[in-house]
Structures are given as structure tokens and as C-alpha cells.
Structure 1
Amino acid sequence: MVVEDEAMIGMMLEDYLDMLGYRLHALATSVEEGCAIVAQGGFDAALMDCNLRGEKAWPIADLLAERGIPFLFATGGSADDLPTRFADRPTLAKPFTIGAVERALERIWAAG
């Protein structure tokens, strides 16, 4: 699952995941949509932006954590901006490359 409100970044991530051999289950562009997708399930991990249309994505992250689904944050800000409950989660700094996405996904699989 990818959670990203910027269409171009969402499409780029979809392409990256495809090139890395992953299948994108769903792309959420808002907190409400992300929470609904998490409730439906059917995916193994999530890569999520921290800010979605002016809202923080923490409710989605809370649901993912409750369900034991590994996830990482993609952010244009600092990892220091994350709530303390997510301080141990991997982050991916924007702008990123396919190699950075690959390494970040390897980190969540290793931690999971």
C-alpha cells in the first residue's frame, strides 16, 4: 500500500515498486481513504507520506501498527517531526531514488 497525496510521486512510487518486483495493492491519497484501505487489509506493507492534504497521517500509522503491518514514512521533513510512538519506524527522505526505496523496504522486511 502506498499513501501519497501528490499524484506524480504516487505514480513514481508505483513504477518503482513494479520495477522492484512488488505489486501495489492500493494507493490512498487521504487519511480517510488510507484508514479504509487498512481496514480492508490484503497487503503486506505500507509506504506512507506523513502529510496528506494538510492532515498528518498518524491515524493510518496507528492502524497499521495495531495490525502488525510493517510500514515506513516518506517525508520531505525531518524524522524528528515524527511522534515519539513512531520514532523507531524507518523513514525515506524526499526526494528519493529507486535505490533508496529498495533499501527502505529491505529495512522494514528485516525488522518485521
Structure 2
Amino acid sequence: MPAIPASDDLAHCRVLVVEDEYFLADDVARILSARGAEVVGPVGTLSEAEELARSRPLDAALLDINLKGEFTYRVADILRDRNVSVVFTTGYGPCFIPPPYAHVPVWKKHTEVRDLVALLRAACPMARA
């Protein structure tokens, strides 16, 4: 994943990162931190994701849709009920996202990091403009 310059355009944004690919999770966490975000996680299991979604103050979440065969839609529901914005990440096409979640923004894994940052800036009301 290419590096992007550090800045504070995600400052004051608490982002839960849920990703089961260790190196991708680490890269995303470092990139978001460099952009000023407070990263919660990353975590790679559904149970950890649900725990943090219920217990931590969050502004946004980046959820890998499929964690080793378990889908994160329950986590998205928990976050929705708490008014926390969600961005899905996946290697699958949009046809794999059920209709109730079709409105959720998606970052396609291993694509442009600037697109991920833009999605999270839009999702996080506290991010600096």
C-alpha cells in the first residue's frame, strides 16, 4: 500500500478498524494515524469488533465485510444504532452486499488510499475540512 503524506485531515475522528488481514490492518491503521485519526483496533475477529462497537466512543468504522467466513453486518447494525458512520471494505464486488446495506460506502481493498481517507472524512463529522 503506497504511503500518503501525513496531515491532520482526520483529526478528532475516532475510527474503529476491523480487518482480518494483518498486514492490511496494520497499514490502514498507520495511514489513518498519520492523517490524525485516533485508531481503535485494529481487530480481526467478530467478537472483538462487536465488543468495541458497543463499548468505545467512535465517530466512524472501517469494517471488512468478511472476517474468516463471518460477516460484520451485526457490527454495522450496532454502530448504526449508535449513530456511528460505517465504511465497508471488501475484495468482493457490490453484488455481495445485501440490499439493507447497499447505501454504505465501500472501499475496495488494495485500491487508492486517498479514496479511503476521503470516505472516512465524509463519514466523520469531526474531521477537519
TM-score normalized with structure 2 length: 0.79
Q: Distance in 1 between matches of 2:32 and 2:112?
A: 11
Unaligned segments of structure 2, at least 5 residues: 1-15
- 8 Å CA contact 1:76–1:93 kept in 2: the answer is yes
Q: For 2:105 and 2:37, how far apart are their aligned partners in 1?
A: 19
- Going by fraction, where is helix more abundant, 1 or 2? 1
Matched residues in 2 for 1:13 and 1:101: separation? 9
User: Are the equivalent residues in 1 in contact too, given 2:26–2:42 (CA < 8 A)?
Assistant: no
Q: For residue 23 of structure 1, what is the aligned residue in structure 2?
A: 38
* TM superposition score normalised by structure 1: 0.90
Question: 1:100, CA displacement in angstroms?
Answer: 1.5
Q: What is the letter of the counterpart of residue 73 of structure 1?
A: F
Aligned to 1:85: 100
Alpha-carbon spacing, 1:28–1:16, altered in 2? closer, same or farther (3 Å): same
1 CA distance for matches of 2:40 and 2:117? 17
Greater CA radius of gyration, 1 or 2?
2
Please give the alpha-carbon distance, in whole angstroms, between the structure 1 residues aligned to 2:65 and 2:84: 17
Amino acid at match of 1:29: G
Q: 1:58 maps to what in 2?
A: 73
Once the 2 structures are TM-superposed, how far is the Cα of residue 14 of structure 1 from its aligned partner?
0.6
Percent of residue pairs identical: 26
2:114 aligns with 99
**SS state at 2:103 partner:** coil
The number of residue pairs the alignment matches comes to 110
Cα distance in structure 2, aligned partners of 1:19 and 1:96: 18
List, as ranges, runs of 4+ consecutive aligned residues in structure 1 with deviation greater than 4 Å: none
Query: Aligned partners of 1:85 and 1:68: how far apart in 2?
Result: 16
Whether contact under 8 Å (1:45, 1:70) holds in the other structure is yes
Counterpart CA distance in 2 for 1:93 and 1:28 is 19
Instruction: State the alpha-carbon separation in 1 of the partners of residues 87 and 49 from structure 2.
Output: 14
Matched ranges for 1:61-80 at <5 A: 61-80=76-95
Q: CA deviation at 1:80?
A: 2.2
Looking at structure 2, the residues matched to 13 and 5 of structure 1 have their Cα atoms a distance apart, in angstroms, of: 12
The yes-or-no answer on 1:39 pairing with 2:54 is yes
